[in-house]
Amino acid sequence: MNWWFLIGVAGVILLGYLANRLGWIDLSNKNTRAGGGGSLLTIGDEVFAPSRHEAAIEIDRQSSLPAPAPVAGDRDLGIYDGRIRIDL
């Protein structure tokens, strides 16, 4: 192998590592249905199909459940002290 090939491969790996650490690309696997190569495909989505990538992020955001609403009988969280008076 030529020495420039090894330097080029090391440079690409270093650039990918820095881009991941700086938040330019996201290599975490958010696609739980796919196999092991899901994180590599998200790079292509971010670069070549950004609207598809943004739609996938929005679907993940909307599919997460919000905090449960308070129900009658829950303890007071310290918001109201004493009686509530309503003037009509």
The domains of the chain are located at 26-64
Question: Global pTM?
Answer: 0.35
Average pLDDT of the residues in 29-51: 64
- The answer to whether 43 and 28 have CB atoms below 8 angstroms apart is no
Q: Does 15 score more than 80 pLDDT? A: yes
- Which tokens in the block code for residue 83? 């009686």
How confident is the model at residue 70, as a pLDDT?
73
How confident is the model at residue 46, as a pLDDT?
72
User: For the chain, first and last CA: distance in Å?
Assistant: 87
Q: Does 9 score more than 80 pLDDT? A: yes
